[in-house]
Structure 1
Amino acid sequence: MPSSTSSFAALWQLIRYARPHRARLVAATLCSVANKLFDVAPEILIGIAIDVVVRGQGSFVAGFGVTDPLHQVYLLGALTLAIWVFESVFEFAYLVLWRNLAQTLQHELRTSAYAHVQNLDLAYFEDRSSGGLVAVLNDDVNQLERFLNGGASELIQVVVTVIACGAVFFAISPQIAVLAFTPIPVILWGAFYFQRKAGPRYDVVREKVAVLSGRLANNLAGIATIKSFAAESRESARLDVESRAYVDANRRAIRLSSAFVPLIRMAILFGFLCTFVRGGQLVLEGHLQAGFYAVLVFLTQRLLWPLTRLADTVDLYERAMASTRRILALLGTPVQIRDTGTLAPAQPARGAVSLRNVHFAYANGAAVLHGVDLDVPAGTTVALVGATGGGKSSLIKLLLRFYEPTVGEILLDGEPLARYRLAWLRAQIGWVAQDVFLFDGSVRDNIAYGRAGASDDDIVAAAKAAEAHDFIMRLPQGYDTPVGERGVKLSGGQRQRLSIARALLKDPPILLLDEATSAVDNDTEAAIQRSLARLAHQRTVIVIAHRLSTIVYADQIVVVENGRIVERGRHGDLVRHGGVYAALWNVQTGEAAAVRE
């Protein structure tokens, strides 16, 4: 639903956000004001020139001591030249100031919003599409930039025009001023009416943009799946529906803004005719000088015709404020996992992990862990096994502080996780996920992500330890070979080995392995197992495994079922016990297991 926050409230919030740039904002505003004052001056000079031609030595200019009509014309010519020069200078100045301010603010908003998004909890991303977030960080910020580039100055200059022209009108003829200004309340009423009606419509437009962006991002990420199911036509149809929804939302807003322009034009025509007809009558009756009549006619056009652009400016303003509401709402999203810890020891963690009566439920209310107690001594390997959905991956996420336990606490080296600085805590943990994520870059870049500033020798050494060096050297450009978005140019096993190399380069005291060998062939699995054995040396390792053959030598095997620990022990003991683990082992081996210590 559209936000209830008014456009004026959004504008005020934006001004407060731009407070560090107050001097530039004031300078840009003053240049816009000065430019508009010089912009209306030529119309006044034209009227004064007509007065000089008609009245000669009795003209308005003669009152300043210049009595010769030719000299008066020269003076007016010099003033015209100076006015045009100053108008051009201030136009250049306000364009540069406003556009640079727009660039600065859009950069700061985008980077601030992105930095805030990175600090948001994992649950936030699980409930939203990445395409919608990209729409806010890119399209909404750009929409605001477009308004600051031109619309802000346009609004300021409309106000200045009304005030400046009004002062001249009332100075020359209050009667004509009242007639000429009669349409302005109608125009302003129309502008505010449009603003009130258009705001919710543009909120809907921005929402449709987010949905459309989400669909595009999702489909492009899943293009292989779409092709494998020959679903191109189906997806094109779905995109067509959402694109049409965006077009329809825009059309409803456009229909309203288009109705505003004819209203303004009719009001302007009334004001111009009043000035033209009544002013002419006063000249013929001898109550108004011809030169002043010319000034009023020209200024009426200067006053009223710019208001025809008010509809476009307000339209741009409403789009920008709808975007501002979305950007500021994103910036205002609270961070649940707060980095309030103070501990950041100079030495790496020993790696002793303890869970004390840990309960956990996701935001949707689904409870996944129930009173889990677990001790993992430093330097040992613990395997978590059990059916899918039992809560094993949730434990991994809690250890990384992607989430907080609902009840209970998790300790590292005897201290609650929340007492550690978040960056230090995560620097102690290496995570090799089942679904490996590689960034769009080279092989070298993706391995080096494990440790900023790593040397080429360190990168190669990590790749060799992960048994990835040989296949990397067979790639077209070796370590400089692009891996494609999410690593699509590599096989699953190759991506997994790069992920292990990345973890080896990080060299963490704690290693979390989430099904690191679940989707590879036997030879690749053997290579990965050798790499993991090197990686696990003298580290605390917590591994989630469905292939039980890969964890038979673990120091402790923990069976997790429906969010509870139902068995724990070494492989041989659990097989002899004949419980859940033994049943899993028998299913995988196809026979009663021989006891292996």
Structure 2
Amino acid sequence: MSENNQEFKRPQQPPRRGFGPGGGGPPGMSMPAEKAKDFKGTLRRLIRYLRPKQIQLLIVLATAILSTVFSIFSPKVMGKATTKLFEGAVAMMKGVPGASIDWGYINEILLILGGLYLFSALFSYIQQYVMASVAQSVVYTMREEINSKLERLPLKYFDSRTHGEILSRATNDVDNISTTLQQSLTQLITSIVTIIGVVIMMLTISPWLTLITIITLPLSFVVIMAITKRSQSYFVGQQKSLGQLNGHVEEMYTGHRIVKAFGQERKSLQEFDRINAELYNSGWRAQFMSGIIMPLMMFIGNLGYVLVCVVGGIFVTKKMIDVGDIQAFIQYSRQFTMPITQTANIANIIQSTIASAERVFELLDEEEEVPETAVSLPASEDKGAVEFRHVKFGYKENAPLIEDMNIQVSPGQTIAIVGPTGAGKTTLINLLMRFYELNGGQILIDGVDITDMKRSDLRRRFGMVLQDTWLFNGTIRDNIAYGREGASEADVVRAAKAAYADHFIRTLPQGYDTILNEEASNISQGQKQLLTIARAILADPSILILDEATSSVDTRTEVQIQKAMNTLMQGRTSFVIAHRLSTIRDADLILVMNHGTVIEQGTHEELLGQGGFYADLYNSQFSEGDLPDVS
């Protein structure tokens, strides 16, 4: 693999989140996802996460009811004060002897009113506090399950999906669920209680005015249903476009040097503009359709408000109702419209949330790796013998790559694997590490089938030095110590010296405390490789996997590293994927692969003597003709 291509092999980092796609939006205005395929089934499954929180949910329900009830009683109480003030003022205007405004009574009403608002606010605070705890506890559990699931998913899952799609499910969709549980669910409870309470209070004031107010309901529902049905067509591609945009931005950002080097900025921007336009088109239409609900509901509510004022005024003139009751009723009619509008918006948000939950559950339901054995093998049994018995494998069921592979490797042998691109060299290593499961046959290490080992026991037997270096954001010391848990400072330095990395590390301003950035771009490619070699030396494995480990260093450093490698490989079984055939002349066994099959095997001299495929590859590297692709 070329150095340019290495730039695209980056650690999977989550995208930065802020304003913009995936970064949230104005409160109360969610970005809906696609419609759920199985709304009821997904809702039932989501409710299971709430069952352990039944006591807290009962507290939320009780406090929501109490808060709403205290709030609903307030207009009725205020109406009494208004009536008393109106009666006193009218009496004084008419010149009734001894007439005055009963300020004492009004003050008592205001104190009661203040108490009602205070208790309403207190219970509302308790409701939000408890619901926040419930919501965060649920999404905490959900995130833990997602993280645990991602650890158990086979490599083929990640190979078949973009990073943006996976990250979108683990971040955006979970955040959508969190927001709905914390905000929309309590609003839904409050809205339902408010509607019921307001209707009861309006009936106690005037059944006729209540009937006028309720007449506007069918019109409201018709408008809401029409808008909701129309808006569904714009929600379908929303989350898909968001995932694509996240993946594209992450890929272009991490590979920005390569993009600039090959002059692909215009193409990158065009692709971004295309995805962003799709997200914009679906987003603004969805937001517009959702946004017009409120103005239309306010218009319908104002129609009812005008009718209540006109009919209420007539009732007052006929002394069928008090002025304070009219004031209270107008407030109730306002309160009656608002929760209906909120309920409509919340219904839309819940639908979006169920779609997000469905995407999360799809991830949680993905087929996992084959369950591993519970038996741990002692490290003392590590010798390094490897055997492939009639191994069959293909990335697709109908396209076999390896058929009936048989390899016998003795402890301490060096096995070189050569062949053109696509021959199956890397696949062989993936099968050996059990990153993929076999379609048939067995792989045995020290006489034990790898399927009978814990994956952790299997992989700790290996040390890997790949052409594609991977270093994480941290100190050089931590990156080397990553090879073995509990490694001391002396162990780290000893490994660095063995890999000929100690000298360049000490020339850095902070030495071993130098912080590498996320892509380790503050050191050279060759220096990265030296650190990964030091890490492998520190791990002290029984089996080594070397994928052209010296390809990224200069000739002088390569000679030094080759010496260190020869020392490291002594007494250990080593699998070397070779691109430059001159580096594997001394291998105990050379496997020549093509189209997933070992077509030749033997020592360097034996294979040259056969004059076959290997001889052609080897001789072509020292000729002036065209070189075959053996990368």
Match of 1:542 in 2: 575
The alignment partner of 2:519 has SS state of: helix
| Cα offset, 1:391, TM superposition | 0.6
Deviation at 1:191, TM superposition (A): 4.1
Tell me, what secondary structure is at the counterpart of 1:341?
A: coil
Tell me the equivalent position of 1:135.
168
CA distance 1:201–1:23, shift in 2 (3 Å): farther
The answer to whether the 8 A contact 1:466-1:531 is kept is yes
Cα distance in 2 between the residues matched to 1:9 and 1:75: 53
Is the partner of 1:486 in helix, strand or coil? coil
Q: How does 1:42-53 map to 2 (within 5 A)?
A: 42-53=74-85
Contact 1:354–1:374 (8 Å) recurs in 2: yes
**Residue from 107, 118, 142 that aligns with 1:85:** 118
CA 1:199–1:398 in 2, change beyond 3 Å: closer, same or farther? farther
Aligned partner of 2:37 in structure 1 is 5
Deviates more, 1:178-187 or 1:423-432: 178-187
Identify which range, 7-16 or 236-245, moves more after superposition.
Answer: 7-16
Contact 1:203 1:322 in 2 (8 A): no
Q: For residues 185 and 324 of structure 1, what CA distance do their matches in structure 2 show?
A: 32
1: CA distance, partners of 2:181 / 2:231 = 19
> Does structure 1 residue 294 correspond to structure 2 residue 327?
yes
TM superposition shift of 1:581: 2.0
Does 1:266 find its partner at 2:292?
A: no
Structure 1 pair 401–26 and aligned structure 2 pair: CA distance change class (3 A) = farther
Q: How far apart are 1:219 and its partner, in Å?
A: 0.5
Listed as ranges, the matches of 1:434-445 within 5 Å are 434-445=467-478
In structure 2, how many angstroms separate the alpha carbons of the residues matched to 1:452 and 1:193? 62
Corresponding residue of 1:63: none
The 5-angstrom pairing of residues 175-324 of structure 1 reads 175-192=208-225, 194-199=227-232, 201-310=234-343, 312-314=345-347, 316-324=349-357
CA 1:162–1:123: 2 relative to 1, 3 Å: same
Q: CA deviation at 1:159?
A: 0.9
Note if 1:382 corresponds to 2:415: yes
CA distance 1:473–1:6, change in 2 (3 Å): same
Q: Corresponding residue for 1:62?
A: none
Alpha-carbon distance between aligned partners in 1 of 2:407 and 2:193, rounded to the nearest angstrom: 71
Q: Does residue 125 of the first structure (1) align with residue 158 of the second (2)?
A: yes
1:341 maps onto 2:373 in alignment: yes
Q: Secondary structure at the match of 1:585?
A: helix
- 1:39 corresponds in structure 2 to 71
Q: Distance in 1 between matches of 2:40 and 2:284?
A: 24
Return the offset for 1:70: 6.3
Q: Is the 8 A contact 1:504 1:535 kept in 2?
A: yes
3-state DSSP class of the match of 1:485? coil
The CA distance in 2 between the partners of 1:154 and 1:133, in whole Å, is: 31
Give yes or no for the alignment of 1:506 onto 2:536: no
1:442–1:482 contact (8 Å) kept in structure 2: yes
TM-score, normalization by structure 1: 0.89
Instruction: Report the Cα offset of residue 46 of structure 1.
Output: 1.1
Q: CA-to-partner distance for each residue in 1:41-100, whole Å, 9 max, x for gaps?
A: 2112112333455679xxxxxxxxxxx966654542332222122122122222323334
Q: If the length of structure 2 is used for normalisation, what is the TM-score?
A: 0.85
* Matched-pair contact (CA < 8 Å) for 1:195–1:318: no
Counterpart Cα distance in 2 of 1:420 and 1:151: 48
Q: Name 1:518's counterpart in structure 2.
A: 551
Instruction: Tell me the CA shift for residue 250 of structure 1.
Output: 0.3
In structure 1, which of residues 503, 516, 527 is the aligned counterpart of residue 560 of structure 2? 527
Change (3 A) 1:402 1:22: farther
- Name the structure 2 match of 1:154: 187
Separation in 2, partners of 1:287, 1:392: 93
Residue 446 of structure 1: aligned partner: 479
Distance (Å, rounded) in 2 between the aligned partners of 1:371 and 1:537:
30
The code of the aligned residue for 1:150 comes to Q
Partner of 2:98: none
Q: Please, which moves more after superposition, 324-333 or 19-28?
A: 19-28
Per-residue CA distance 1:534-572 (angstroms, 9 max, x = gap): 332322222211222222222221111111111112222
Choose between structure 1 and 2: higher helix proportion. Answer: 1
Residues 155, 313 of structure 1: 8 Å contact kept:
yes
Q: Which residue of 2 aligns with 1:481?
A: 514
Does residue 565 (structure 1) correspond to residue 598 (structure 2)? The answer is yes
Letter in 1 for 2:53: H
Structure 1: runs of 5+ lacking an equivalent: 57-67, 592-597
Give the structure 1 partner of residue 29 of structure 2: none
Write the distance in 2 (CA, Å) between the matches of 1:352 and 1:318: 57
**Take 2:232 and 2:63, find their aligned partners in 1: how far apart are those partners?**
29
**SS at the partner of 1:338?**
coil
Determine helix, strand or coil for the equivalent of 1:487: coil
Q: Percent identity?
A: 32
For 1:167 and 1:6, locate their aligned partners in 2 and report how far apart those are by CA, in whole Å.
37
Q: 1:397 aligns with which of 410, 425, 430?
A: 430
117-126 vs 312-321, which moves further: 312-321
Contact 2:242-2:279 within 8 A present in 1 as well? yes
CA distance in 2, matches of 1:525, 1:92: 67
> Contact 1:161–1:303 (CA<8 Å) still a contact in 2?
yes
Q: Over the residues paired in the alignment, what is the CA RMSD in angstroms? A: 2.7
> Hey, what's the Cα distance between the residues in 1 that align with 2:387 and 2:150?
30
Please state whether the residue corresponding to 1:206 is helix, strand or coil.
helix
Deviates more, 1:414-423 or 1:394-403: 414-423
Per-residue CA deviation, residues 215-273 of structure 1 (Å, 9 max, x unaligned), is 10110121111111222233223212221221111012123213323332233223333
Higher RCO by CA contacts (8 Å cutoff, separation 6 or greater): 2
Contact 2:544 2:572 in 1 (8 A): yes
Give distance in 1, aligned partners of 2:549 and 2:576.
9
Counterpart AA for 1:169: M
Between 1:540-549 and 1:302-311, the stretch displaced more is 302-311
Q: Deviations over 1:491-524 (max 9, x none)?
A: 2221122112222222222222222223433223
CA shift, 1:428, in A, is 1.9
Match for residue 426 of structure 1 among 459, 473, 476: 459
Structure 1 residues 155 and 197: CA distance shift in structure 2, 3 A? farther
Other-structure match for 2:62? 30
Would the aligned equivalents of 2:195 and 2:340 in 1 still touch at CA under 8 Å?
no
Match of 2:131 among 80, 83, 98: 98
Say which SS state the counterpart of residue 390 (structure 1) adopts: coil
Q: Is the 8 A contact 1:201 1:253 kept in 2?
A: yes
Distance 2:537 2:61 in 1: 56
CA–CA distance in 2 between the matches of 1:138 and 1:478? 37
Q: Please tell me whether the aligned partners of residues 35 and 352 of structure 2 are also in contact (alpha carbons under 8 angstroms).
A: no
Q: CA deviation at 1:195?
A: 4.5
